[in-house]
Structure 1
């Protein structure tokens, strides 16, 4: 994974583990929902936001 794809709070020196996952994003004009599935867990969002800042990668945050 290229360093520029890491979120600023991720430290590439820490011990991280890759996990295979499927992320499904459904969006309409008024709603966005996120469904995340791995071999060990599954979740569906109750809210989601897309943050953008000049010169930075967009960030998708969801609960």
Structure 2
């Protein structure tokens, strides 16, 4: 099971479907970004990512869904 499948499963689960998903991956192409967004990923970060960007994303999505 890859990250796309995990995200799809989360979105199909009634108890988890609103859970924010931040995907971190080595794949930086637009095709993969589009696929992630299509399955419901909220943020897509490609490696190497900046720690500050990740922390800002976590802070943002934590506030949105608290």
* Fold similarity call, TM over 0.5: no
Q: Which structure is higher in RCO with an 8 Å CA cutoff and minimum separation 6?
A: 2
TM bracket (short chain)? under 0.3
